[in-house]
Structure 1
Amino acid sequence: MNRQERRRLGIKRKDPMVSIKQSDIDRMKEEATEKGCKMAFNLMMAVPAMVIHDKFGSLMKKEGRVEKFVDLCMEEYKYYEEGYVTLKELAQILKDEAGVEIKGWY
């Protein structure tokens, strides 16, 4: 694009060309993936916490029930992150002990 075309379109200056190493791209992808996973997990915690708050309030003492639930979920997630349990094992435990089958976990 020449100078006359840039003036006509209202473009003040050219976009700078930036060189990035592949290792920098890989690092940025890794950071974005980690941030996205943590954000998705935190967002998914909001759904069951709201269900407990809205639908099961009469079954539990109101004071601190949602906080306790979230704390227990975070503790269980920590076990998964540290490698003490896998998704497959969690699914099997839920099926065997609670009779709940969740498909598509692993």
Structure 2
Amino acid sequence: MNRQERRGLGIKRKDPMISIKQSDVQAMKEDATMKGCKLAFTLMLALPAMVIHDHYGELMKKDGRVERFIDLCMDTYKCYEEGYVTLKELAQILKDEAGVEIKGWH
């Protein structure tokens, strides 16, 4: 894209070119992987713990208990996914109301 075209689009400057070493790219990948794994594990732990905290009595009825548990976990996950609750809030609720602390995830 030449200067006249950039001016026409309202672009003031070119994006700068940045050189990154392969070892830096690898370190960024490893860091992103680690953060993703921690997030996934925390979701896997916090959501079911919250469901048990909120619905223990309901889950003790034997008929269909696994299906109810899965449905309740999915409902809690949808609340997280849609932004109604954050992992930090879930962890705080579990700590305050159930006395359970999830360590090492943030």
What TM-score does the superposition give when structure 1 sets the normalisation length?
0.53
The aligned length equals 67
Larger relative contact order, structure 1 or 2 (CA cutoff 8 Å, min sep 6) = 2
Tell me the residue number matched to 2:28.
Answer: 28
Q: Which amino acid aligns with 1:42?
A: T
Instruction: Give how far 1:5 is off.
Output: 0.1
Q: C-alpha separation between the residues in 2 aligned to 1:14 and 1:53?
A: 54
Tell me the residue number matched to 1:44.
Answer: 44
Tell me the residue number matched to 1:81.
Answer: none
Query: Identity rate of aligned residues, in percent?
Result: 66
1:49–1:66 CA contact under 8 A, matched in 2: no
Segments of 5+ residues of structure 1 without an aligned counterpart are 75-106
Structure number with larger C-alpha Rg: 1
Q: Which one is further off, 44-53 or 3-12? A: 44-53
| Deviation by residue 1:4-25 (Cα, 9 ceiling, x = unmatched) | 0000111110000000010000
Instruction: Give how far 1:57 is off.
Output: 5.1
SS across alignment from 1:8: helix
Q: C-alpha separation between the residues in 2 aligned to 1:65 and 1:10?
A: 54
Counterparts of residues 1-106 of structure 1 (less than 5 Å): 1-56=1-56, 66-68=98-100
1:52–1:66 CA contact under 8 A, matched in 2: no
What TM-score does the superposition give when structure 2 sets the normalisation length?
0.53
How big is the alpha-carbon RMSD for the aligned residues of Structure 1 and Structure 2? 2.5
1:6–1:12 CA contact under 8 A, matched in 2: yes
